[in-house]
Amino acid sequence: MRLELKRRSLSQAAVAFALAGGLCSSAALADEHVLILLDRTGSMGGTSVPGLTRLQVAKARIDGYLQIVPSVTTKYAFWTFENTGPTQVFSFADNKTPAQISAAVNAVTLGGNTPLAGSICAAVDSLINYLPNQLHTKRIYLVTDGDENSTPSLDQCYGGFSVGVWPNLTAGSWQEKVRNKACTGSAASSGPCGFFPPPYPPGLTLIADIDFLFQDFVPLQGDAQAREPEDETKTVMGPYLAGATAASDVSFFNGLATATKGRYASITQNTPPAQATPIPGDANLDGCVNVTDRTKVLAEYGTKVPSGTGSDFNRNGTVDTGDYQTVLNNFGRGCPQTVRE
């Protein structure tokens, strides 16, 4: 899951000042901050696609994302979460490279319970508070299997499980609070998605990209202990025991991504391997980066495309030089030698 915060406008005075000082360049205005948020809780040890755990698939997806060529200067932070909240592995101030972030991702081991709601909301706050007076694109990339069960009761996004499904989320549920946080910057404010109201600067918006790994619609009733096997003392939030299903989580995560103009991907045991762990540059998801992918990117080059378009690897809404370079950098990967050209 990735939440993107965009500052789209500056005051006329601020723009004039930047131009006068020679500081207003397209690159400077579009620099991006990406916070990668990885679920390392016990249920991530469950089977995903055949032969791989959810955590292994999550690591592969993040590693692939980090190999994609961004179109603008990008800074990365990396957090994990388990038990009572998130752990900051690297902050933006650490100035880590994609390779360094990837190494840290691949070193992650399984933990305990799932403070999903509180961790997402803390990540939103972190992005808002990092260089708040500058114009940047800000993203959270969240990879999780859901199963919220341990956000502390005093956390801003603590709540029971929503009885209603997206978009009819139960008031006070953790899903409603996370939705509010992503859309308005306040867990208690249910305003429309698209821009953060005052006291936030004009133009602040949020986009959620979500990778959701789960088993195919398995009821959680009576199964809570098995989903977090490392911690036999955990307390599960009551509504899970009322028979909530993975289907409601799918609805929520997909809805949040769509409402915030983000990218949503769901991975089950039936997902083809080339889609579960895609190769950067594989625009048609056939497991091979070849001339077909290059042709697809060139055919769409310079055009604005809907969220989730295969050729838009860097997820900025336009097929551009970064996407084309991603194909070139990975040309031949996953392909038999005889079909690489």
Burial code of 264-273, b = ≥16 C-beta within 10 A, e = fewer? Answer: bbbbbeebee
Length of the chain: 341
Residue 35: phi and psi, rounded to 5, are -105, 115
- Condensed to tens digits (0 to 9), the pLDDT of residues 259-300 reads 888 899 999 999 999 999 999 999 999 999 999 999 999 999
- Condensed to tens digits (0 to 9), the pLDDT of residues 176-211 reads 999 999 999 999 999 998 888 888 877 777 778 999
Q: Which of 127, 332, 162 is nearest to 240 (CA)?
A: 162
| Degrees to nearest 5, angle at CA 199 with 194 and 205 | 20
Positive/negative CA dihedral, 69, 72, 77, 81: negative
Average pLDDT of the chain to the nearest whole number:
83
Quote the pLDDT of residue 137: 81
d(CA 35, CA 123): 7
- Mean of the pLDDT values across residues 157-165? 94
Model-level pTM? 0.85
